[in-house]
Amino acid sequence: MRLLFLSLLLAAAPASAQRLLIPMDEGQSDHLKAYGAVYWALERGVAVEWLLNHRGGSFLADDASGLADELRVRNVAFEPLSGAGAATLVAEVERPDANTSAVRLERAPRIAVYAPEQTLPWDDAVLLALTYAEIPYEQIYDDDVLDGRLEEFDWLHLHHEDFTGQYGKFYGSYRTQAWYQQQQRDAEAAARQHGFAKVSHLKLAVAQHIRRYVLEGGFLFAMCSGTDTFDLALAAHATDIVPAEMDGDGIAPDAVSRLDFAQTFAFEGFTPSFNPMEYEHSDIDVSPPPALQNPLTDYFTLFDFSAKWDPVPTMLTQNHVASVRGFMGQTTNFREGLLKPGVVVLAESPGGEMVRYLYGPAGQGFFAFYGGHDPEDYQHFVGDPPTDLTLHPHSPGYRLILNNVLFPAAQKQPQKT
Amino acid sequence: MRGLLVLLFALRFAGPFGVLAIPAAGAQPTVPGRPGLADTTSTAGRFQLAERYLQAGQTDRAIALLEDLHAAEPNAPAVVAKLREAYAAGRRFDDLVRLAEEQLRRSGPSPSLLAERGAALYQAGRGEEAERAWADAMALAPQAELTYRVVSTAIGQVRLYDRAADVLRAGRTTLGDSTLFRAEVAHLFVLAGDPARAIEEYLADLAQRPDALPSVQARLVRLLEQEGAAEILAVAVERAVRRDPLNRAYRELSAWLALERRDYRAALDAHTAIDRLEGEQGQSLFSFAEAAVAAGALEEAERAYVLILERHPNGPMAPLALFGRAALAQRRAEAAGETAFDAQGQPLPTPLYDAALAGFRTFAEEHAHLPQAAGALRHAAEIERTVFRRHAEAETLLQQIAGRSGDPGADARARLDLGALAVQRGDLAAARAAYAHVEETLRIGPFAEEARFELALLDFYAGDFASALARVEAMNENTATNVANDAIALKVMLREHEGPDSTSTSLRAYARAALLHRQGRPAESLTALDSLLAVAAQHPVADEAAFLRAQALRTLGRPQEALADLAAFPERYPLSYLVERAAFLRGELFETALNDPAAAVQAYTDLLARFPGSLLAAEARARIRRLRGDRPPG
């Protein structure tokens, strides 16, 4: 009789485990699906603790509601622990001299993704991440925001969005393309429908609703041009920074001097780009140095934070690697000199002055901005097919997105240093 | 920033708009073959250096060099062109305008210089002045075709494709020739994403130049990706077909568009019309039928084959249509799950298999000289053997191929099938002869390996284990092929399960049961296995016997008994490599034989829990998700 491999037997989980440790270090078989499994557990009221800085930011959950079976179906590696073993582990994680901490996750956050119904010729990294991780979300857009639906959600995501009403500044290259024209027609119709004279006014109103949502305790996560255009639109609430090619009238002559940086979340002192032909919104965005514009050499570094005193940035930067492969976007890095005081840098690109990932408090809520477009497609061009995440189940760049999804599930609003 | 970048026209306008690999800001471009050195003493060397700076994305350095060269040689066209390119790459549009104006002052007005000035003005954000410059350019030589081409090209380079098309159409009016610039205007409308106007121009062009159809199709492919464009094109082409029904180019365009839109009914109509109007012998219909089969439009494919056979029974495509129709019927029968007998062995109607069999037989009889004849016989034999279980008929058909076909592959395949038939009817000597012929004739290759493995199995069934082992040990261990994997499994069994008595009685009994199972005699196989397990429950082959017993029970329609055996399997044979397969088979039985999805999910979940690293885990996960009806979020 042939021998069965002992390793298979050793890997089999005993039925009597009381808690399940989901490691997030190199031993995890699918990092991205692990987030979805944790979300699944939270939806069913299973208690989950996020063990910050322990084995790549692992999770400890009760073995209840069929979680172990669900983890197996999703191919998420886990280790069964007895009650005593789990207690020992938590005590170790909470040891005062260790930079680790256990944060209780309470409930599955309600998630909204701000994206148009119209299919645009580029992918959305957050939609890809949520779909792959099997985390439920609702897609909303201008109508929903203006109708006050944001309060239904704990977490809002923006991706390749343009809140300045300049249609992504694709005018120079794509104004003759059907999708661009359709995008413009849809936006103009939406503006008229809501009683706005121009698309920039509609988008400003949407940005202001989102701002209020965050100030009242919501969580905003934005990527790519959803970051800088959000602040640009808010700063330009009393002026016109949109060239005539997009909105029919010109830029206000005193546009720069009338920018109101008190309205913005992350940036101040920036200058918009008024050239309609330029694929750039402002000087907030800064490119990596030419020598680093190479997927083989372009990496950014995650900062270390104190897990006990700074749990929020620690949660947002949990990963199994310290350096994450870079990726480009319409907005790739944020110019460090334009950050507002109080904004916390979470990751920085080499070459100086380039912030890749940041977060900050705003009123009762938080925001996090992450530069770049698609963490597993170094330069995602218009018309490129979406990334297949089954090929990247361990993607550190996508993990940063999913950290944000679970962050609003944390029990307490942690202290900020 | 160039993240979500402009790529669409990167190749066409590689200079100012393309994505470049940019070296470090301080890096010095080098002369090829002489790293670190550049010839800066001669004009040509400085020009080449500027070019390399430009290619490296160091536009400021390139511009400085080129401005020096331009100051020294203001009339050198290559320097002016490169400086223009550098200004555009550096987004120094005001300098671009200044250069264009300087050229105008130096050389005097010409349509091309004025058009270039217009493009520079446009890039500098001075749209109204650009329009005036282009109007001036056209006014300069309004009777020359070239004027309109030059101005249109300049406007097209700043991607105002509608505007560029307007210039050419204005030239058409001014010159009084409505046939001018057809293809150029149409292409500009394609670039502008305007299918309605593009197709009108292309149709007019095709009326004059029907040979241009392939290039028109190549251009239109780009538009088809645009939402709604295919419908707009189809309506316009249908209108053209009605207006000029005898125009073959329009008909072909209509048929092509229908296929691109996956409207197979419309495509069939279009090909039928071409076939009738052009006096074809079914070629166009046959091409359509093949495309429809590949796309799964089986009904339309069937109609096309029938049309060929009815309209052109003696035409060159008739035999191929006959073969295609028979293959189609077989495919449809398989898809429909047509079976010749019910569970009690009573015959059932099989119209599709009947049609397929008749088609293949007719083809083989009427077109024996064609290369497809062997394939037709083999298909017919396969249906006789696997569907109708008429082994004698199948054998007769296969005998017609073996030894008579000029194709060694077809001959070998037929002999292997003959061998399988002989095994099924219990004539192991005939089977051995068939396999041995293939092995000796071919020696190498997949057919020879298959024959070698079958010979090893025959030795195994006969209890000649030493010979069986020698054969499988000689086989190529290429695990990418099924036959090699089966051979490895047989080799392991032979090495581990012989004994303990000198005649390996238990293994012989198992081999006999395996042969009975293969011969489609599950009841006898079950009896043999029960006898074996009664006397040799502790023998190493017992796990194989128990697993085969569960399969026999499944074949006999006794899934509950099979499940009971499989449930006990891990306890009885905890170290068997078959425990994973037994766990998977439990899931399959719940899923297919008992139609109990909840129990199937539980069985597959048990497999994942016990054997997380199993090769069957991925399939088990997929089946759980399918049975649960998992849907993507959002």
- ipTM here: 0.72
What count of CB pairs under 8 Å joins A to B? 163
User: How many CA atoms does the CB half-sphere of B488 hold within 13 Å?
Assistant: 9
Contacts of B618 (CB under 8 A, 6+ apart): A75
Angle at B467 between CA B465 and CA B470, to 5 degrees: 110
pLDDT category at B39 given cuts 50, 70, 90 is: low
The Cα A166–Cα A333 span in angstroms is 20
- Partnered with residue A157 across adjacent β-strands are A113, A221
Local confidence band at B405 (pLDDT 50, 70, 90 cut-offs)? low
Please list, in sequence order, all residues whose beta carbon lies within 8 angstroms of the beta carbon of residue A388, skipping any fewer than 6 positions away.
Answer: none
Sort out which chain A residues have CB atoms less than 8 A from B233's CB and list them: none
Q: Which whole number is the average pLDDT over B543-552?
A: 95
Max mean pLDDT among A279-293, A399-413, B354-368 falls in: B354-368
> Which residue of A9, A72, A223 to mutate against B (max B Cβ within 10 Å)?
A72
Percent share of chain B, pLDDT over 70: 91
How far is CA B36 from its chain centroid? 48
> What's the pLDDT band for B336 if we cut at 50, 70, 90?
confident
CB B4 to CB A177 under 8 A? no
Tokens standing for residue B66 = 């080129």
Q: Indicate the average pLDDT of chain A.
A: 86
* Backbone CA torsion sign across B205, B206, B209, B215: positive
Confidence of residue A106 (pLDDT cuts 50, 70, 90): confident
Contact B70, B94 (CB under 8 A): no
Instruction: Spell out the alpha helix ranges (H) of A107-177.
Output: 125-133, 142-146, 171-174
Task: Check if A280 contacts B (Cβ < 8 Å).
Answer: yes
pTM greater than 0.90: no
Q: Which of A338-342, B225-229, B293-297, B486-490 has the lowest mean pLDDT?
A: B225-229
B71: Cβ contacts below 8 Å, ≥ 6 apart: none
If you compute the radius of gyration of chain B from its CA atoms, what whole number of angstroms results? 37
| pLDDT at residue B537 is higher than 70 | yes
**Least CA distance to A180: which residue of chain B?**
B193
Least confident of A31-45, A140-154, B83-97: B83-97
Average confidence (pLDDT) over A94-116: 92
Q: Is any Cβ of chain B less than 8 angstroms from the Cβ of A178?
A: yes
Question: Which residue of A72, A289, A332 is in closest CB contact with B3?
Answer: A332
SS3 A323: strand
Residue A153 structure tokens: 């959600």
* Residue A289 in contact with partner chain B when CB distance is under 8 A: yes
A307-315 average pLDDT score: 91
pLDDT for B478 equals 65
Scan residues 178-217 of B and list those with Cβ closer than 8 Å to A.
191-193
Nearest-angstrom CA–CA distance, A158 and A228: 11
At B280, the pLDDT band (50, 70, 90 cuts) reads confident
B428: tokens are 């192991």
Pick the more confident residue, A131 or A287: A131
d(CA A410, CA A21): 18
Closest B-chain CA to A66: B605
User: SS3 for A302?
Assistant: strand
For B19-42, letters b (16+ CB in 10 Å) and e give ebebbeeeebbeeeeeeeebeeee
A143 near B CB under 8 A: no
- Report the mean per-residue pLDDT for chain B: 87
Segment A358-368, tens digit of pLDDT: 999 999 999 99
Give residue B308's pLDDT: 95
Gap between the Cα atoms of B528 and B511, Å rounded: 10
Residue-level pLDDT at A2: 38
Structure tokens at B597: 């999805």
User: B86 with B59: CB under 8 angstroms?
Assistant: yes
pLDDT value for A17: 56
Predicted local confidence at residue B37, as pLDDT? 43
pLDDT for residue B21 is more than 70:
no
Mean pLDDT on A102-106: 92
Query: So what's the pLDDT on residue A269?
Result: 95
B11 and A CB contact within 8 Å: no
Cβ–Cβ contact B605 with A under 8 A: yes
Residue of A nearest to B27 (CA): A291
